Amino acid sequence: MKSHPRPISPHLQVYKLQTKLPPLLSIVFRIFGAGLMVGGTFFFLLWIVAAGTGPEAFEAVQNFFGSFFGYIVLFGLTVLVFYHMCNGMRHLLWDTGFGFDMPTVRKTGRIAVGAAIVLTLLAWIIGLSVYG
């Protein structure tokens, strides 16, 4: 029986991350996903549990997110969530069995990065105009 090479986990030492876009996008997708589950849920819980606790706690957390460090956290999380979402849609496309040829892989990769940048900028333009 003919055997096919099995897909393996994004491997940090084997793939040439510096020279190839698709494996770089793959491992960044994983790292950002892990970052969302660890950091994203932590800062979300900080916000929503403070709101559920009471006015004083919520005001303190709102002030934190309005601070310089809070802005950095929020900017980081918007980058993580929009890249993971856009590249995740590539994975959903692959799950249907399409888009595996290398030109398409590179093309959808560039589209995912572009869409993530657009969504991040859009969120910050709207956010700063609403807040400012």
Partner 1 sequence: MSLRTPLGKARGLGAAKEGASSHWMAERLPAIALVPLMLWFVFVAIIGNLDASYADMVTFMGSPWNATLMLLTVFCAFYHGMLGLIVIIEDYVQHHTIKHILVFGLKMYAALGSVLAAVSILKLTFGG
Cβ–Cβ < 8 Å for 30, 13: no
51 near partner 1, judged by CB under 8 A = yes
Q: Mapping DSSP to helix (H, G, I), strand (E, B) and coil, where does residue 75 land?
A: helix
Cβ–Cβ < 8 Å for 53, 78: no
Least distance in Å: CB of 81 to partner 1? Answer: 6
In whole angstroms, what separates CA 37 from the centre of its chain? 10
Residue 55 or 103 having the CB closest to partner 1: 55
Cβ–Cβ < 8 Å for 37, 29: no
The Cα-based distances of 47 to 24, 37, 76, 79 in angstroms read 32, 15, 16, 19
Binding-site residue total for partner 1 (CB under 8 A)? Answer: 37
Cβ–Cβ < 8 Å for 74, 65: yes
Among 26, 28, 73, 78, binds partner 1 (CB under 8 A): 78
Give the per-residue contact string, 81-110, with partner 1 (x = CB under 8 A; - = no). xx--x--xx-xx--x---------------
59 near partner 1, judged by CB under 8 A = yes
Q: Which stretch binds partner 1 (CB under 8 A): 17-25, 27-35, 103-111?
A: 27-35
Interface residues toward partner 1, by CB under 8 A = 9, 30, 33-34, 36-38, 40-41, 44-45, 48-49, 51-55, 58-59, 62, 65-66, 78, 81-82, 85, 88-89, 91-92, 95, 123, 126-127, 130-131
